[in-house]
Amino acid sequence: MVRVVSIIELTKRQDLIIEIVKDEGPITGEKIAEKLNLTRATLRPDLAILTMAGFLEARPRVGYFYSGKSGPQLLSNLARKKVVKDYKVLPVIIKEASSVYDAVCALFLEDVGTLYVVNNKGYLAGVVSRKDLLRAMLGKQKIEDVPVNIIMTRMPNIVTCSPEDSIFDVAKKLIDYQIDSIPVVKEALDDDKSVFEVVGRVTKTTITKAYVELASGQSERS
């Protein structure tokens, strides 16, 4: 079976069939045909389309039910199918002992908007954004002397995601928390404490690329 997405223009008759099944389902194909003054054979393609497209469900010997799904709901499945692990990019990581100056350099060198900060064991300790760096530079201290862990957002206040999450859920988090970037992490245990290894990065750029992909009609990654 090939999963295919398509835009269908429902005919007036198909719309009518949906209405009839909504009101009177379960209802047999014969009964629907009767109501529309048509033969069962004429109706067969319409019923096949409405069933395949997910509007109606057919149960043998009982008849047709209304599935309760609308077109846009069916589309959303596709946009929701995209998964973080297929889209994440490499994280840019600096050590907790780095200075704000080091962080600004890494930001330009790697051409990213957000840096992830790791502790001496290599686990996620914080996140530094361009705004955090700008704010730090407004301060009186020399940025070579300010350690990045003073200005970063630190665990447990960091929004993370896992490689198995959907791109849709991450996009919602980016909007809800008003952030630009979310570290993709794998949870581990260290001395019985929950720690996070950074395995990737999802940003608004990632989501914008996924949108372009969807709108270009490029096939799904899998």
**Site for a second copy, residues 9 to 48, rule: CB under 8 A:** 9-12, 15, 41, 44-48
Q: Rounded to the nearest whole angstrom, what is the least distance from the CB of residue 122 to a second copy in the complex?
A: 27
Q: Rounded to the nearest whole angstrom, what is the least distance from the CB of residue 152 to a second copy in the complex?
A: 16
Q: Which lies closer to a second copy via its Cβ, residue 31 or residue 130? A: 130
Question: Which of 39, 141, 194, 208 is the binder for a second copy (CB under 8 A)?
Answer: 208
Q: Rounded to the nearest whole angstrom, what is the least distance from the CB of residue 90 to a second copy in the complex?
A: 16
Q: Residue 59 and residue 121: Cα distance in Å, rounded?
A: 58
Residue 191 token pair: 């001395």
- Is 55 an interacting residue with respect to a second copy (CB under 8 A)? yes
Q: Residue 11 and residue 34: Cα distance in Å, rounded?
A: 18
CA-nearest of 199, 135, 187 to 156 is 187
Question: Which of 38, 62, 75, 188 is the binder for a second copy (CB under 8 A)?
Answer: 75
Q: Which lies closer to a second copy via its Cβ, residue 151 or residue 167? A: 167
Question: Which of 90, 97, 134, 188 is the binder for a second copy (CB under 8 A)?
Answer: 134
Q: Would you say the C-alpha torsion 124, 125, 131, 136 has a positive or negative sign? A: negative
The contact pattern for a second copy, residues 135-154, with x = CB under 8 A and - = no contact, is x-xx----------------
Q: Say how many C-beta atoms besides its own lie within 10 A of residue 189's C-beta.
A: 8
CA-nearest of 193, 196, 192 to 183 is 196
Q: Which DSSP state fits 66? A: E
Q: Which lies closer to a second copy via its Cβ, residue 155 or residue 179? A: 179
